[in-house]
Structure 1
Amino acid sequence: MTTTHTTTGATTTGATTTAARTTARTRVASLARAELTLLVRNKAALTYALLLPGSLTLSMTTFTGDIDLDKAGLDLPTLVLPGSIGLALVLAVYMNLVGVYVVRREELVLKRLRAGELTDPEILAGAALPALLMGLVQCVLMVAAVGPALDAPMPKAPLLAVLGVVAGLALMATLAAATAAFTKTAESAQLTPMPVMLVSMMASGLFVPLDIMPDRVAAVCEWAPLTPVIDLVRAGWTGGMGAGEALKALATAAAWTALAGWTVRRRFPWEPRR
């Protein structure tokens, strides 16, 4: 009798846990579908997120002609291709998602969602999923378009590139929520992401390799939020990263993500800021 009772209790507990997880996934998926519908309807934001990374990549390709790539141990494809992926992460995920969080908060959408069954992490995750999906699609498009255009070689360590993209998606989404915590209005959402965007473009090795910078400047830039992501993605094509370096890059990206997540938990306002 005791054995039968224990087994039945365990089965019931397992079924309850599975049902709870399924319900959570369903709630997040429903919110994500609603956000995706709004994103598709917003032609300006969709065009901006999809076309701007490619346009900037094209313009930056001409700029890289003056860089001594041999000193950095790179060539044009291994410089530009990871840089284009980094741009997709910043523009399609980070910049876009800051506006989503702020606008939904100003419209009291987040406040109403909190009154239902959705938990705070589920609300943030559901709102972020369309931007994350768009960022992932954009990364794939960059590889498919920029790679053949520059005659890029096949990745030597594709797992590192995948890890870099996954880490970048998580980092950009969390940084977006943290930035939204300090953004008062939808209008200011166009300005508050600029520091992270500029630091990412100038100090993360997107199109200016850290190896050609002065040693002290490069040492500081190594700790920029997007630098470990770009290092991992670039190492995916060059294969020039050992296990220790890969773990250090992942740990740095995880530390920035954790810091941004802590900021969100402590500072994110769910009602309009006055």
Structure 2
Amino acid sequence: MKQRTGTEDARGGTDTATHTGVRHVPHGGGGGGERHAGMSTQTWRLLMGMPSRASLRRMGSLGRAELTLLLRNRTALFMSLAMPVGMVLVSYVSAGNLESTGTSLGVGEMVLTAGIGFVLLLVAYFNPITAYVARREERVLKRLRTGEVTDAEILTGTALPSLALALAQVALLVISGALILDVGMPDQPVVLVVAVLLGIVMMVALAAVTAAFTKTVESAQITSLPFFMLSAVASGLFVPLDGLPDGVANVFRALPMTPVVELVRGGWLGGMTGGEIRLALVLAVVWTGLSVFAVRRWFRWDPRQ
């Protein structure tokens, strides 16, 4: 399709649209109306507060378009649906072996904590990486930025299907834990909900950071591997870090995923003091803030190929 120039759009007063169905109103001035590289004040307010109805509509349109693409991508569907189930089964086998070593946690408690952690890693972290990289290389992100959609709306809308899928899988794990694994309902449900929501926001922000250093969709499996392995091994997904030497445990507690895992476990089983909850929340918020800053500083909107 032949693209209009900024002058032609200004005279005609028409909107342009991408395949996502989001209508675009090019900015005046500067030829094609290319947006400034940094995020605007409006975008920052969106990250820190509640979006407007218009913003929700735009993100909803992007999310629906991304969901259509996700349903057509068999690899992404496998990673979103089959891999979390597989990791839960692996967690069940591993938890049985760990229980025999004398850990204070039961099989169900370890499986549910690990299951929620793997949902966050596989669905809320890995899926958005591939989506961001694919849309960037297709120049979709660059075209979207020439319209009224803000940077935060683009990133959030692109990740919406993964976020919804992660929430649905966590809810399924909670119900399964209560009915099948005989773990019972969460002891502190508010803490559990906050932990999951904060973990999802953090994972999406870290996904955008990882996407900035990922050249192709295929290489996303490589660039995401260090954080995935570090989180799987060192964040206490299977057993609490209290059983490790103090020096090692303190280092592991400073990792991004660890406070989320501790809050999930504390929200489900209880036992965390108010001070421990506040410390984990502060650490998780700090990592989320650093991730958002890194996105604003290094995220690439132009194709790398």
- The bucket for the TM-score relative to the shorter chain is 0.7 to 0.9
Counterparts in 2 of 1:69 and 1:160: CA distance versus 1, 3 Å: farther
Tell me: higher relative CO, structure 1 or 2? Use CA pairs within 8 A at least 6 residues apart. Answer: 1
1:33 aligns with 2:74: no
Query: 1:195-224 CA distances to partner (integer Å, 9 max, x unpaired)?
Result: 111111001111132122222111111011
1:154 aligns with 2:185: yes
1:77 aligns with 2:112: no
Which residue of the other structure, out of 124, 139, 147, is the alignment partner of 2:170?
A: 139
Equivalent residue number for residue 275 of structure 2: 244
Q: Is the 8 A contact 2:91 2:110 kept in 1?
A: no
3-state SS of 1:261 partner: helix
* TM value normalised by structure 1: 0.88
Q: Is the 8 A contact 2:99 2:107 kept in 1?
A: no
Q: Is the 8 A contact 1:202 1:208 kept in 2?
A: no
Query: Which residue identity is paired with 1:212?
Result: G
Post-superposition offset of 1:144: 2.6
Equivalent residue number for residue 91 of structure 1: 122
Counterparts in 2 of 1:141 and 1:91: CA distance versus 1, 3 Å: same
**How far apart, in 1, do the equivalents of 2:106 and 2:215 lie?**
43
Post-superposition offset of 1:64: 2.4
The within-5 A match list for 1:150-189 is: 150-189=181-220
Query: 1:83-116 CA distances to partner (integer Å, 9 max, x unpaired)?
Result: 1001001101101111110111011110010111
Which residue of the other structure, out of 220, 228, 240, is the alignment partner of 1:209?
A: 240
Equivalent residue number for residue 16 of structure 2: none
Q: Is the 8 A contact 1:102 1:183 kept in 2?
A: yes
Q: Is the 8 A contact 2:121 2:203 kept in 1?
A: yes
**How far apart, in 2, do the equivalents of 1:64 and 1:78 lie?**
9
Q: Is the 8 A contact 1:71 1:212 kept in 2?
A: no
Which residue of the other structure, out of 61, 68, 93, is the alignment partner of 1:62?
A: 93
Q: Is the 8 A contact 2:199 2:260 kept in 1?
A: yes
Q: Is the 8 A contact 2:198 2:284 kept in 1?
A: yes
Query: 1:123-155 CA distances to partner (integer Å, 9 max, x unpaired)?
Result: 111101111101111111222334433211221
* TM value normalised by structure 2: 0.79
Q: Is the 8 A contact 2:113 2:264 kept in 1?
A: yes
1:220 aligns with 2:239: no
Q: Is the 8 A contact 1:53 1:88 kept in 2?
A: yes
Equivalent residue number for residue 259 of structure 1: 290
Query: 1:22-44 CA distances to partner (integer Å, 9 max, x unpaired)?
Result: 22221111111111111122233
1:234 aligns with 2:251: no
**How far apart, in 2, do the equivalents of 1:215 and 1:63 lie?**
24
Query: Which residue identity is paired with 1:161?
Result: L
| Structure 1 unaligned residues grouped into runs of 5+ | 1-19
1:104 aligns with 2:135: yes
1:197 aligns with 2:224: no
Equivalent residue number for residue 4 of structure 1: none
